[in-house]
Amino acid sequence: MKTIFSSTQLAHAPAQEISDGKLKPAVEIPGRAEMVLAALKDRQVGDIIEPAEFPVRPLHRVHAPDYVGFLETFWDSWTAAGRSKEAFPFVWPIRSLRQDTKVEHIDGLLGRYSMDAGTPLGGNTYQAARASADTALTGAKMLLDGEQSAFALCRPPGHHAGYDFFGGYCFFNNAAIAAQYLRDYGLHRVAILDVDYHHGNGTQSLFYDRPDVLFLSIHADPKDEYPYFLGYADETGEHAGTGFTRNWPLPLGTDWEAYTPALEEACRWLLVYKPEALIVSLGLDCYEKDPISGFKFVSDDFIRLGQRLAKVGVPTLFVMEGGYAIDALGTNCVNVLEGFAG
What residues act catalytically?
A: 160
Q: Which one, 182 or 250, has the nearer CB to Zn ion?
A: 250
User: Does 12 participate in binding ligand OKP (rule CB under 6 A)?
Assistant: no
Tell how far CA 194 is from the center of its chain: 8
User: Does 221 participate in binding Zn ion (rule CB under 5 A)?
Assistant: no
**Cα–Cα–Cα angle for 179, 143, 321, rounded to 5 degrees:** 50
User: Does 225 participate in binding Zn ion (rule CB under 5 A)?
Assistant: no
183 binds, among Zn ion, ligand OKP, none (CB under 5 to 8 A by kind): none
DSSP for residue 7: G
Give yes or no for a contact between 47 and 147, defined as CB atoms under 8 angstroms apart.
Answer: no
Shortest spacing between CB 301 and ligand OKP, in angstroms: 17
Backbone angles phi and psi of 242, in degrees to 5:
-60, 125
* One residue of 51, 58, 157, 162 binding ligand OKP per CB under 6 A: 157
Residues in the chain: 342
* One residue of 30, 222, 227, 322 binding Zn ion per CB under 5 A: 322
DSSP for residue 156: S
* One residue of 14, 89, 158, 168 binding ligand OKP per CB under 6 A: 168
Shortest spacing between CB 185 and ligand OKP, in angstroms: 27
* One residue of 70, 169, 259, 340 binding ligand OKP per CB under 6 A: 169
Q: Which one, 78 or 259, has the nearer CB to Zn ion?
A: 259
Shortest spacing between CB 265 and ligand OKP, in angstroms: 21
Shortest spacing between CB 283 and Zn ion, in angstroms: 4
- Please state, in angstroms and rounded to a whole number, the distance separating the CA atoms of residues 76 and 269: 46
Count interface residues toward ligand OKP (CB under 6 A): 15
- Please state, in angstroms and rounded to a whole number, the distance separating the CA atoms of residues 10 and 19: 22
Between the CA atoms of 247, 248, 253 and 255, what dihedral angle is there, to the nearest 10 degrees?
Answer: -130
Cα maximum dimension of the chain? 55
- Using only the alpha carbons of the chain, give its radius of gyration: 19
Strands 316-320 and 149-152: parallel
Residues 301-330: x where in contact with ligand OKP by CB under 6 A, - otherwise, as a string: --------------------xx--------
User: According to CB under 5 A, which residues from 275 to 304 bind Zn ion?
Assistant: 283, 285
- Please state, in angstroms and rounded to a whole number, the distance separating the CA atoms of residues 211 and 230: 19
Residues binding ligand OKP (CB under 6 A): 19-20, 118, 157, 160, 168-169, 196, 198, 226, 283, 285, 292, 321-322
